Amino acid sequence: MIASIIMVWFYIVCHLEDKMASYSTNEFKAGLKVMLDNDPCAIIENEFVKPGKGQAFNRVKIRNLKTGRVIERTFKSGESLEGADVIEMEMQYLYNDGDFRHFMNNETFDQYQCDEKIVGDAGKWLKDQDSCTVMLWNDAPIGVTPANFVELQIVETDPGVRGDTSGGGGKPAKLETGAVVRVPLFVQTDEIIKVDTRTGEYISRVKE
Amino acid sequence: MQEAWQPTCSVAMLQSRARLLTKIRAFFLEKSVLEVETPLLSHTIGTDPQLAFFATDYCLPPRLHTLFLQTSPEFAMKRLLAAGSGSIYQICKAFRNGESGRFHNPEFTLLEWYRVGFTLPQLMDEIAELILSLFAEQKALSAVQRISYQAVFQHYTGLNALEFCYADYCTYALDNQLPEAVSLCEHDHALWLDVLFSHKVQPYLGDNTLCMVYGYPACQSSLARINADDSRITDRVELFINGVELGNGFYELTDASEQNQRFDNEIASRQQKNLANVVKDERLIAALETGLPDCSGVAIGLDRLLMLLSKSASIDDVLSFSIHRA
């Protein structure tokens, strides 16, 4: 009887632990997703601080995954935080209905909608049908990251001087998604260019 | 995949370490300070609740003893002093469980020395002489600064370190991006000092300078004597270069009954915090009862010193094999 109670108890304890993994300051590594002040966060940096004759701390740099804000927080060494159920998933960007942008998981065909606050800066690189990365917290989108390189058409730029291939100087060009990037003078309206979304820099022309 | 067997430091760093050790030994040889060795493995261990230790089994069938890897050679060296060794120094390994990071490795190298008849200011002179000579080649250290804990704490935080005003401390933390300190420290003055000093003071100490902070608050006295003229402070000094804590020195406590009392307090504090129980080192108490000569002593972390000399970013860069590869 007692043995079976212990077994049931043990099962429950294991099960609970399974559901809410928690991580001690010693396990804080860059990229680990944890809950802090009820928001999902990612550890950026974790520094062990200990005066020779004093209390040990961990000074942790954390990014709030909902707001993008980076904060520093000090913990007593050995304290722990609950893990956050955050995953990043490759999805297809479908369309913008004016209020929300819609994304689809290409394997399960599950669709997700995000408002502009969640999409943030990524919005200016998103073209219908392009793939991007959507971050989900408890299966709800909290952030969108465009592909590192996107190919987009120029809808507006000043006519440049033909024959200029130096690439120096440059001029602004507006792309079909609304982003504005600097391009070399020889690049013209209607041309398709490759852009690095991490820096917002022009990479090359794309021949159709 | 092949195991990473290589050392974490360069061969040039092995040579720098050897040169550093040679210079230190030459320094003490010239001053006729005796080099000694004491056990790394002992029957007792320090009671300091802030230091976690390694324990191991000593098998001598049919008996089994627990032995401890030393967190510092301090107790054994004081027993040598009480036995009439005169001034001594030691370069040895020390072990502190759970300490790992950019400036910490659980096994590290200490230089510890004791000067019989020296007051703390006299010892600080000698510390400055040694450190400046070690940095002479690099011309990396421009000066030596001596400042009291109270003055430096006041300078960077505006707070009085010697008188704990909870409301002032909280206001400071909330206004200076350290709001978590309020719940972390509650009404524990010593803990507040640890948090505020390590976050808001230490990073700015010793800009290409050897900064010696003396006159620690009495609640952080450790094994130092309480100051004879001002009971709010203790005769303890800490060394900092470029924001890195390098060492800690005391005008050593010689009073056996006070030492006994501090041991009891620390043991009680360990129990309160549910830390591993330890027994106090009765041999140290007995040595103090016999008579420890008036002396000052200091311990300096040689790995960190080597980091500063070589401008290394991590302790791993100066260890042959840091704990991950040991």
Segment A74-94, tens digit of pLDDT: 999 999 999 999 999 999 999
Q: Do A57 and B180 touch (CB under 8 A)?
A: no
Q: Which residues of B touch A79 (CB under 8 A)?
A: none
pLDDT tens digits, B116-153: 999 999 999 999 999 999 999 887 788 999 999 999 99
**Does the pLDDT at position B101 exceed 90?**
yes
Distance CA B206, CA B211 (A): 5
Q: Which two tokens stand for residue B150?
A: 């109270």
pLDDT tens, residue by residue, A159-185? 866 555 555 678 999 999 999 999 998
CB contact under 8 A, B220 and A53: yes
What integer pLDDT is reported at residue A82 of this predicted model?
A: 96
* DSSP-assigned beta bridge partners for residue B211: B145, B240
Edge-to-edge strand list for the sheet holding B54-60: B41-42, B63-69, B54-60
Residue A17 pLDDT > 50: no
> How large is the average pLDDT for residues A139-149?
94
Q: With bands split at pLDDT 50, 70 and 90, how would you rate the model's confidence at B3?
A: confident
Q: Which chain A residues have a beta carbon less than 8 Å from that of B245?
A: 51-52
Q: How far is B63 from chain A (nearest CA, A)?
A: 34
Q: Do B194 and A48 make contact, defined as CB atoms within 8 angstroms?
A: no
> Considering only A24-28, A184-188, B252-256, which range has the smallest mean pLDDT?
A184-188
In sequence order, which residues have a C-beta less than 8 Å from that of residue B200 and are 6 or more positions away?
A: B156, B157, B176, B178
Q: How confident is the model over A20-40, as a mean pLDDT?
A: 93
pLDDT at B294 over 80: yes
Q: Assign B277 a pLDDT band (cuts: 50, 70, 90).
A: confident
Backbone angles phi, psi at B44, to 5 degrees: -130, 170
CATH number of B11-142+208-318: 3.30.930.10
Enter the pTM of the model: 0.84
Model pLDDT, residue A13 = 54
pLDDT value at residue B141: 86
Residue ranges of domains in chain B:
11-142+208-318
Token pair listed for B29 = 């040889």
Greater confidence (B175 vs B140) lies with: B175
Q: How far does B204 lie from chain A, in Å, by closest CA?
A: 15
Q: What is the pLDDT of residue A9?
A: 62
Instruction: Calculate the average pLDDT of chain A.
Output: 89
Contacts of B95 (CB under 8 A, 6+ apart): B40, B53, B54, B69, B70, B71, B106, B107
